Every structure is written in structure tokens, then in C-alpha cells.
Amino acid sequence: MSLRNNVQSNACIDDTGAFTDVFDKNAATTGGVIIAGGTAAFGAGILLAALPAQIILPSAVAGALFFVGDRQDKNLPLNPFTKDEDSVEPQTAVAVA
């Protein structure tokens, strides 16, 4: 009687004993993304520690461009503190009796 006949779960065991239903393409891809993300974050941390001005300036420019693009997409003025003259309604004076 082989090990394959004794397994009561839905996981398929191949001849090497690896659970192929558990460790599939999605699990391998997820593992690769996690390792690559950790490596990228670690590398960015080392680069930021070694060259702070060369990293902070492009990051600030990228953030500003994201902000400008978002404001233009929403048809808002670039300066968030300016008031749109069309949206301001005139206030009427209240008479005191």
C-alpha cells in the first residue's frame, strides 16, 4: 500500500511527496512578489541612506506631479487654497428690525 492511498485530504501528493495542489503557480508567484518587494524595499532603504538628496528630490517631484495630475483630472484648480469665483454665492444682508 502506498502513501498515495493513505492520504485523506484533497491535496494531491506526487512521487516526491510535495503537495502540488497547495504549492501551485499562484503560491510561487506570490512568494516571488514578496521576495522581490522585500529586496526592492531593502535596496531603496540603503540607497536613501547613502544618497538622501538624490532620492528625496525626485520623490518630491513625482509626488507633486501626481498631485497636479489628480487635481487636473478632477477639474480643480492647482492651488487648493484658491476659491472658485463661480461657486461663491452672494450673501444677502439680513435686516434687523
Average pLDDT over residues 59-76: 92
pLDDT given for residue 51 in this prediction: 86
Whether 85 is covered by a domain: the verdict is no
Q: Is residue 82 part of a domain?
A: no
Q: Is the pLDDT of residue 4 over 60?
A: no
Residue 26 lies in a domain: yes
Mean pLDDT for the stretch of residues 60-66: 94
Q: Is residue 10 part of a domain?
A: yes
Q: If DSSP states are collapsed to H, E and C, what string results for the chain? A: CCHHHHCCCCCCECCCCCECCCCCHHHHHHHHHHHHHHHHHHHHHHHHHHCHHHHHHHHHHHHHHHHHHHHHHCCCCCCCCCCCCCCCCCCCCCCCC
For the segment 19-56, what is each residue's pLDDT rounded down to a tens digit?
A: 556 677 788 899 999 999 999 999 988 988 888 888 88
Average pLDDT of span 70-95: 74
- How high is the pLDDT of residue 83? 74
Q: Count up the domains in the chain and report the number.
A: 1
Domain span holding position 46: 3-73
Q: Does the residue 88 lie in any domain?
A: no
In a domain, 42, yes or no: yes
Q: Would 49 be classed as within a structural domain?
A: yes
- The mean pLDDT value of the chain amounts to 77
